[in-house]
Structure 1
Amino acid sequence: MQIGPRYKICRRLGDRVFSKCQTTKFTVSGTDKKTVSKKGRRGASEYGQQLLEKQKARYAYGVSEKQFSNYVKNARSLKGGNPTLELFKQLESRLDNIVFRLGLVNSRLSARQVVSHGHILVNGRKTTIPSTAIRRGDVIQIRPGSREIGPFRTLAERAKDYTAPDWLIYDIDKNEGLIKGEPVYGQSEANLKFGSILEYYSRV
């Protein structure tokens, strides 16, 4: 998925969309524009707010419109399931998101890059598709030959201050991440309103 200027997108959708926007630099750069932005959102229609929530989630997870629409269809098609929870689980279970949640990199964009470049193993096999669905019991590793390149060089230091979600475990000494459960809705990405997203797709 191609993404445009991140600061511009964050001003339109909110600073939680990209980690790059959760900085003092972003706050200072947007000081003069906050008043206009808030005024514009106040008068937004219900449909407009739902569209906004959809765009926030799509950009946050780095998913194309076609992919996102398919996730929604799948979430709705499961009999007896909770569509809101199922949509959340599908997005959180993407390989690029898992790499990010384990703390191996600082952003989903970096996660997509390291996966695409073949630096990540799933159950011992190289996997280069960021959207690969990861399941409970799967093991994620950095390819041995990649541990000293790019963002992985500082992993040991960053890991001291990072706590992965409860459904994930990463053992830096073993270079091994384990998916021990299912994503817990509300534990992460609490700023995204998945119910509103489903309502948006019911109207289009």
Structure 2
Amino acid sequence: MSRYTGPVCRLCRREGQKLYLKGDKCYTDKCPMSKRNYIPGQHGRSRKKLTEYGLQLREKQKVRRFYGIQESQMRKYFDMADKMHGITGENLLKLLELRMDNVVYRMGFASSRAEARQLVTHGHFTVNGKKVDVPSSILKVGDEIEVKSRSKNSPKFKELIENHRGSTVSWLDVSPEEMKGKIIAEPSREDIDIPVEEHLIVELYSK
């Protein structure tokens, strides 16, 4: 399945809530969700009550769109989470949080996960001193992420640091001035601020 390349604001409208896919624009009055808070399309205003399967599907799609992953990747992460100790739904969200692109976004070095994915792909970051350009790489506790020396003087990163909002999660230790951070703990469910009922995803994939 190819990656979605249409207007991402339609995805937010489809899920009925902000997914914060456009970075700073999502925090302004220009956000389409503020003007057209209904499903896109001809029959968007006439919402119907969802079935049990529909509710499960929407939760799964919501998570996919939050993290910008494809269905095949989602299924792979679920299989990994199912084999881990603990609660499968929480394990799934932890794996997604530890993706390289999400960690960069959580550190405040990108305005959105999509931008973080692009920056990682272009080779602007290192992990433990080695270049990592695969956004889907799963990191672990103790890994140190840093902007490459050559990239630190680029206008893009200077702008990001000037407008740095700081990390909002307790499992990351971030130093904006040095443009680096470290994973100091596994993300807990309380740290994952995505409004999703992960048990519905487990029920969907367990059928």
Provide TM-score, normalisation by structure 2: 0.87
- 1:115 and 1:66 map into 2 onto residues whose CA distance is 21
Q: CA deviation at 1:30?
A: 1.2
Deviating beyond 4 angstroms after TM superposition, the runs of 4 or more aligned structure 1 residues are: 31-34, 36-39
Against the structure 1 CA distance between its residues 132 and 182, is the aligned structure 2 distance closer, same or farther, given a 3 Å change threshold? same
1:179 paired residue among 179, 183, 189 = 183
The residue type equivalent to 1:200 in the other structure is L
- 1:146 and 1:31 map into 2 onto residues whose CA distance is 39
Q: Which residue of 1 aligns with 2:149?
A: 144
The alignment partner of 1:129 has SS state of coil
Q: Which residue of 1 aligns with 2:49?
A: 43
Count the aligned residue pairs.
199
Q: After superposition, what is the alpha-carbon deviation per residue over 1:151-199, rounded to whole angstroms, capped at 9, x for unaligned?
A: 412123222x333310001112332201000011132233122111111
Against the structure 1 CA distance between its residues 31 and 12, is the aligned structure 2 distance closer, same or farther, given a 3 Å change threshold? closer
The residue type equivalent to 2:195 in the other structure is N
Contact 1:11 1:37 (C-alpha < 8 Å) held by counterparts: no
Alignment of 1:182-201 (within 5 A): 182-201=186-205
Alignment of 1:1-204 (within 5 A): 2-3=3-4, 4-20=6-22, 21-25=26-30, 26-30=32-36, 37=44, 39-40=46-47, 42-78=48-84, 80-149=85-154, 151-159=156-164, 161-203=165-207
Against the structure 1 CA distance between its residues 102 and 32, is the aligned structure 2 distance closer, same or farther, given a 3 Å change threshold? closer
Against the structure 1 CA distance between its residues 46 and 23, is the aligned structure 2 distance closer, same or farther, given a 3 Å change threshold? farther
Q: What are the ranges of 5 or more consecutive residues in structure 1 without an aligned counterpart?
A: none
Q: After superposition, what is the alpha-carbon deviation per residue over 1:27-85, rounded to whole angstroms, capped at 9, x for unaligned?
A: 34415769x64741x5111110110010010011011100100111111122x421112
- 1:177 and 1:28 map into 2 onto residues whose CA distance is 34
Against the structure 1 CA distance between its residues 38 and 83, is the aligned structure 2 distance closer, same or farther, given a 3 Å change threshold? farther
Contact 2:13 2:37 (C-alpha < 8 Å) held by counterparts: no
Against the structure 1 CA distance between its residues 123 and 103, is the aligned structure 2 distance closer, same or farther, given a 3 Å change threshold? same
Q: What are the ranges of 5 or more consecutive residues in structure 2 without an aligned counterpart?
A: none
The residue type equivalent to 1:18 in the other structure is Y
- 1:170 and 1:32 map into 2 onto residues whose CA distance is 37
- 1:32 and 1:133 map into 2 onto residues whose CA distance is 35
Could you say which structure has the higher helix fraction?
A: 1
* Higher mean displacement: 118-127 or 24-33: 24-33
Q: CA deviation at 1:18?
A: 3.1
* Higher mean displacement: 110-119 or 8-17: 8-17
Provide TM-score, normalisation by structure 1: 0.88
